């Protein structure tokens, strides 16, 4: 179908911005550009937000905990936990840019959400972010009492590069004793080694471009790094059996569409319970554009409903 009218309006509003010169662009300049941009709707109201630190072998990671307003209203029941990783091409973004996603997932799925501030490239190149993601999930699974969440009920979630990290953690921890109940991946990066046909078909004019993705990868990977390593490219893993059930949301007008959909198909072929939803008429990053796109609200509600069911089933 045609690009959604609201998505067209977003792109039209951005049309006056000067094009990015990727030959000269630096990560600090890109982050400053994003920080100067406007925000979107803040998401659902939650009961509390709390900043904390996660100890890891590579040093402490900042994290933010979102607690939903519970149905019983007294806060006495322990809720399951979802560990969230933000997008931003492994280079940018953080708590504030993705707070609306975290609040909506927390409130609509009735889950505590732990958003992790993993190390960014190029200051910390691959596999730093992937290792941080695995360390954060391990720590969260081992510290349910301190986090005041239900033990044994944990999910992972993320968008774009954060979807990559969530998928990596779900793969790497499947035989580690960490019981991941579900993974929610919004238009994830799952193949850093190959450009699929949607790179050419949807690689220009739809917010995220093929050129931008190539620049992100140049920041994330040092020269000679193995981009087909499953720590970088979950789609490259030879065996996907035993990976947590998955919800994968792709966007029709997204250069990452094909790799996300291939990953959903491969998970299903491996016997993993997988829900794949291609959002028609939408572009990469649409779920963050609350207040500008009706589709953002709809996608977050649907993903949260599936997540809530998966986490509930884990404890019945």
Crossing angle for the helix pair 5-14 and 294-313, to the nearest 10 degrees: 120
E strand intervals along the chain: 48-54, 61-67, 81-85, 112-117, 154-159, 180-186, 245-253, 274-283
Which of 92, 115, 144, 160 is flagged as catalytic? 160
Q: How far apart are CA 90 and CA 95, in angstroms?
A: 14
Catalytic annotation on 160? yes
First CA to last CA across the chain, in angstroms? Answer: 41
Find out whether 139 and 64 touch, Cβ atoms under 8 Å.
no
Distances (CA, A) of 46 to 107, 111, 116, 187: 6, 11, 18, 25
- Listed in sequence order, the residues at least 6 apart from 142 whose beta carbon sits closer than 8 Å to its beta carbon are none
Distances (CA, A) of 123 to 31, 41, 92, 97: 13, 30, 11, 20
CB count within 10 Å of CB 175 equals: 8
Indicate which residues carry an active-site annotation: 160
């Amino acid at each position: 179908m045609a690009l959604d009218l609201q998505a067209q309006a977003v792109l039209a509003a951005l049309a006056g911005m000067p094009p990015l010169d990727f030959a000269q662009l630096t990560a600090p300049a890109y982050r400053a550009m994003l920080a100067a941009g406007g925000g979107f709707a803040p998401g659902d109201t939650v009961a509390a937000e709390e900043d904390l630190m996660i100890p890891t072998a590579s040093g402490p990671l900042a994290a933010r905990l979102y607690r939903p307003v519970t149905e019983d209203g007294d806060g006495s029941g322990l809720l399951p936990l979802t560990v969230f990783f933000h997008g931003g091409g492994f280079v940018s973004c953080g708590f504030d840019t993705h707070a609306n996603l975290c609040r909506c997932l927390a409130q609509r799925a009735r889950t505590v959400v732990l958003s992790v501030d993993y190390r960014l490239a190029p200051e910390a190149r691959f596999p730093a972010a992937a290792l941080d993601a695995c360390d954060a999930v391990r720590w969260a699974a081992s510290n349910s009492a301190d986090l005041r969440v239900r033990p044994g009920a944990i999910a992972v979630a993320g968008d774009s590069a954060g979807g990559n990290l969530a998928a990596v953690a779900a793969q790497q921890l499947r035989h580690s004793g960490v019981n991941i109940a579900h993974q929610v991946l919004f238009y994830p990066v799952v193949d850093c080694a190959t450009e699929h046909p949607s790179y050419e078909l949807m690689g220009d004019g739809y917010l995220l471009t093929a050129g931008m993705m190539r620049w992100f990868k140049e920041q994330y990977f040092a020269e000679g790094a193995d981009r087909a390593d499953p720590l970088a490219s979950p789609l490259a893993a030879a065996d996907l059996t035993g990976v947590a059930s998955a919800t994968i949301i792709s966007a029709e007008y997204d250069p990452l569409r094909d790799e996300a959909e291939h990953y959903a198909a491969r998970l299903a072929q491996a016997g993993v319970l997988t829900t794949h939803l291609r959002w028609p008429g939408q572009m990469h990053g649409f779920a963050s554009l609350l207040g500008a796109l009706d589709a953002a609200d709809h996608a977050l509600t649907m993903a949260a409903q599936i997540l809530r069911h998966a986490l509930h089933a884990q404890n019945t």
